[in-house]
Chain A
Amino acid sequence: MTPLLKVENISKFYGNRIGCENVNFDLYSGEVMGIVGESGSGKSTLLNCLAGFLTPETGEVRFEMRDGEMRDTVTMSEPERRMLSRTDWAFVHQHARDGLRMNVSAGGNVGERLMAVGARHYGNIRAEAVDWLGRVEISEERVDDRPTQFSGGMQQRLQIARNLVTGPRLVFMDEPTGGLDVSVQARLLDLLRGLVREMGLSAIIVTHDLAVVRLLADRLMVMKDGHVVETGLTDQVLDDPQHAYTQLLVSSVLQV
Chain B
Amino acid sequence: MSDYNFAYLDEQTKRMIRRAILKGLAIPGYQVPFASREMPMPYGWGTGGVQVSAATLTPDDTFKVIDQGADDTTNAVSIRKFFEKTAGVATTEEASAASVIQTRHRIPEDELREDQILVYQVPIPEPLRFLEPSEVETRKMHSLEEYGLMHVKLYEDIAKHGAIATSYAYPVKVEGRYVMDPSPIPKFDNPKMEMAGIQLFGAGREQRIYALPPYCQVVSLDFEDFPFEASKADHACDMCGATDSYLDEVIMDDAGNRMFVCSDTDYCASRRKAGHVGAQGTPFEETAA
A: residues with CB less than 8 A from B are 78-79, 82, 86, 101, 103-105, 107-108, 111-117, 120-123, 125-126, 143-144
Tell me, yes or no, whether B250 is within 8 Å of chain A by CB: no
Partner of B156, one of A79, A82, A108, A123: A108
Known contacts A78-B144, A111-B152; is A122 also within 8 Å of B160 by CB?
Answer: no
Chain A interface mostly helix, strand, loop or mixed?
Answer: helix
Write out the residue numbers on chain B whose beta carbons fall within 8 Å of the beta carbon of A108: 152, 155-156, 159
**Residue contact A122 to B155, C-beta cutoff 8 Å:** yes
Q: How far is the CA of A113 from the CA of B147 in the complex (A)?
A: 10
Q: Nearest chain B CB to A187's CB is how many angstroms away? A: 27
**Residue contact B159 to A125, C-beta cutoff 8 Å:** no
Write out the residue numbers on chain B whose beta carbons fall within 8 Å of the beta carbon of A101: 131, 152
Chain A CB within 10 Å — which of B147, B151, B160, B225 has the most?
A: B151
Binary CB contact string for chain B from 141 to 159 against chain A (1 if under 8 A, 0 otherwise): 0001011110110011011
Write out the residue numbers on chain B whose beta carbons fall within 8 Å of the beta carbon of A144: 159-160
Q: How far is the CA of A235 from the CA of B156 in the complex (A)?
A: 46
Interface size class of B (residues with CB under 8 A): 10 to 19
Q: How far is the CA of A143 from the CA of B160 in the complex (A)?
A: 11
Write out the residue numbers on chain B whose beta carbons fall within 8 Å of the beta carbon of A115: 148-149, 151-152, 155
Binary CB contact string for chain B from 119 to 152 against chain A (1 if under 8 A, 0 otherwise): 0000000000001000000001000101111011
7 closest pairs, A vs B, by CB? Answer: A116-B148, A115-B151, A122-B223, A115-B148, A121-B224, A79-B144, A108-B152
Write out the residue numbers on chain A whose beta carbons fall within 8 Å of the beta carbon of B131: 101, 103-104
Q: How far is the CA of A108 from the CA of B151 in the complex (A)?
A: 9
List 7 A–B pairs whose Cβ atoms lie within 8 Å, in order of A's numbering. Answer: A78-B144, A105-B159, A107-B155, A107-B159, A114-B148, A116-B149, A121-B223
**Residue contact A120 to B156, C-beta cutoff 8 Å:** no
Q: How far is the CA of A12 from the CA of B155 in the complex (A)?
A: 40
**Residue contact B144 to A111, C-beta cutoff 8 Å:** no
**Residue contact A126 to B148, C-beta cutoff 8 Å:** no
**Residue contact A122 to B148, C-beta cutoff 8 Å:** no
Q: Nearest chain B CB to A130's CB is how many angstroms away? A: 11
Tell me, yes or no, whether B4 is within 8 Å of chain A by CB: no
Name the interface residues of B211-229: CB closer than 8 Å to any CB of A. Answer: 222-226
Known contacts A101-B131, A126-B159; is A112 also within 8 Å of B149 by CB?
Answer: yes
Q: For residue A117, which residue of chain B has the nearest CB?
A: B148
Q: How far is the CA of A162 from the CA of B196 in the complex (A)?
A: 43
Q: For residue A144, which residue of chain B has the nearest CB?
A: B159
**Residue contact B159 to A120, C-beta cutoff 8 Å:** no
Q: How far is the CA of A126 from the CA of B149 in the complex (A)?
A: 15
Q: How far is the CA of A104 from the CA of B148 in the complex (A)?
A: 13
Q: For residue A112, which residue of chain B has the nearest CB?
A: B152
Q: How far is the CA of A114 from the CA of B222 in the complex (A)?
A: 15
Write out the residue numbers on chain B whose beta carbons fall within 8 Å of the beta carbon of A123: 225
Q: How far is the CA of A104 from the CA of B224 in the complex (A)?
A: 21
Q: Nearest chain A CB to B73's CB is how many angstroms away? A: 34
